[in-house]
Amino acid sequence: MKHFGLATLFVGLFSTGTAWTQQPSAVDVQATGQRNVILIIGDGMDDQQITIARNYLAGAQGKLLLDEMPLRGAVQILTIEDKVDGQPVYVADSANTATSMATGVITSRGRLATSAGDNRPLPTIVELADAAGYRTGVVSTASVTDATPSAFAAHISFRLCQGPDLMLEIVYSDIPLGGCPDEIKAKGGLGSVAEQLAESDLDVVLGGGGRYFDMTAEGSTSTVRELAIDNGFTFVSSASELADAASADRLLGLFSRDTMPVRLRGEDGREAEAPQSSWLNQAHRYLGSVTQPAPMDCEPNPEFAGMPSLKAMTEAALAVLARKDSAGFFLMIESASIDKQSHERKPCGSIGEMEQLDEALASALAFAQANPNTLILVTADHSQAAQLIPAESLFAAYPIPVFSPGKLARIRTPEGRLMAVNYATSNFFMEEHTGANVPVFGNAEAQGRVPAFLSQPELFNIMKDYLGLE
């Protein structure tokens, strides 16, 4: 089964304005002696993305709640070829990096909790925690079948096999991308990602991806959503239903057909644009002029109206998971569209997702304040394409028409300044990931447990050891 080549280009793609506040909101739970782990993943959240969001949300001299965490370190991203004992690959995708954090094993791009080359299922921290009596959950602003959430509870060789209709062959714009034909249930496999989530022991699954659960399950007349309900999940599909679901024993919430809408967008849907040079400049780089993209504002995305925020989903998950009849819980929370909006060269969308992550972190910290045995880690799966560059080239004073060869968004900030965000990894319709280290932040429980520099598989070991898992 061949997944890569052109398929690799598409992995990671298919895939916000209230005021930011530093005050944690209250979460109505009782303190217990249980141990809990809350892992918050900003997909594509590197220092460039954090700085861009900080400048917009808090100002150049301000701080996000993220910046106030007592621990900060750096995480090394590790990836290998799709071979047993494969050689290093220096830029990752979300599937293999989430797998590293979920299983402690380095694997190849596109894989979800399976080993490179021989396709062995790898036990995840969710499965280990379930077996030890912990409650477990995943929350995401992406489809819950997307790479990051599903790596914690599903096993499959190719991340795009998200629903039963996509197992045999996935085609995008008449381009065959591959499939998972040997992993259908009829051949003894575990089935699609959606089917695995529906039949899992997870207690909370919240996010987008309704279309995969509306597909008919393999060998059944029931939809995948009906399988999940038969497995004991209470199903909700709106913000109001979510608000009333705190008493559910197990909760499945699907609030959009695929990735959930972002909170912010560029005005009228604008994205980064290429600067336009004059004919004289094209003849000689020191001559002529260049027209930069017009400044843009970030505005509320009308499609976000009525959606539950990441904060609301986080608090609903905590209410369901924090039950006294368990050893504690493991919860993964993903702000997914930092990455997805960067693929599409839409910095306002990424900023809104960073804001949502900060709000979810506030709720997690409020919970941890009432429940001291709670480890909170905030990190990213990989770095992304956005670069903060001068709004006007330093060479413009001479004057020399120097400009970015990529695509550029010039954003008006609440401070009344222009912030230039550049994208230049690809001439394709999407940007690609980059290979830099990513940050990790932790609450007081992380101090003494998380070193200043570590690899993603070490995060798995830290979380496993904190929960006392074998």
Both 425 and 371 in a single domain?
no
Both 157 and 287 in a single domain?
no
pLDDT category, 2, cuts 50, 70, 90? Answer: very low
Tell me the C-alpha to C-alpha distance, in Å, between residue 106 and each of 4, 19, 42, 86, 349: 18, 39, 20, 10, 30
**Domain limits for position 282:** 273-297+387-430
CA-based nearest residue to 432, from 8, 2, 5? 8
* Per-residue pLDDT, 15: 38
| pLDDT more than 70, % of the chain | 93
* Per-residue pLDDT, 6: 33
Both 205 and 285 in a single domain?
no
pLDDT category, 33, cuts 50, 70, 90? Answer: low
pLDDT category, 57, cuts 50, 70, 90? Answer: very high
Greatest alpha-carbon span in the chain: 74
444 lies in some domain? no
What is the total count of domains within the chain?
A: 2
pLDDT category, 18, cuts 50, 70, 90? Answer: very low
* 17: pLDDT strictly greater than 50: no
Last residue of a domain, one of 358, 384, 410: 384
pLDDT category, 99, cuts 50, 70, 90? Answer: very high
* 30: pLDDT strictly greater than 50: no
25 lies in some domain? no
pLDDT in tens, 312-341: 999 999 999 998 889 999 999 999 999 999
Both 379 and 391 in a single domain?
no
Last residue of a domain, one of 384, 416, 441: 384
458 lies in some domain? no
- Whichever domain contains 242, its CATH number is 3.40.720.10
**372 preceded by cis ω (within 30°)?**
no
Choose, from 94, 100, 335, 393, the residue flagged as catalytic: 94
Both 424 and 306 in a single domain?
no
| Residue carrying the six token digits 């782990």 | 37
**DSSP 8-state assignment for residue 85:** T
50 lies in some domain? yes
Q: What is the mean pLDDT of the chain?
A: 92
103 lies in some domain? yes
Tell me if 201 sits within 8 A of 222, measured CB to CB. Answer: no
* Alpha carbon of residue 262 to chain centroid: 12
204 lies in some domain? yes
Catalytic residue list contains 94: yes
Last residue of a domain, one of 363, 384, 405: 384
* Per-residue pLDDT, 407: 97
* Strand, coil or helix: 79: strand
pLDDT in tens, 261-317: 999 999 999 999 999 999 998 888 888 889 999 999 999 999 999 999 999 999 999
pLDDT in tens, 119-158: 999 999 999 999 999 999 999 999 999 999 999 999 999 9
pLDDT category, 7, cuts 50, 70, 90? Answer: very low
CA-based nearest residue to 368, from 41, 163, 69? 69
Both 208 and 335 in a single domain?
yes
Both 214 and 362 in a single domain?
yes
454 lies in some domain? no
pLDDT category, 37, cuts 50, 70, 90? Answer: very high
Both 229 and 291 in a single domain?
no
189 lies in some domain? yes
Both 375 and 403 in a single domain?
no
* Per-residue pLDDT, 252: 98
Q: Enumerate residues 6+ apart whose C-beta is below 8 A from 260.
A: 141, 142, 207, 208, 307, 337
Please state, in angstroms and rounded to a whole number, the distance separating the CA atoms of residues 449 and 434. 28
Both 195 and 171 in a single domain?
yes
Both 52 and 118 in a single domain?
yes
* Per-residue pLDDT, 100: 98
Both 164 and 282 in a single domain?
no
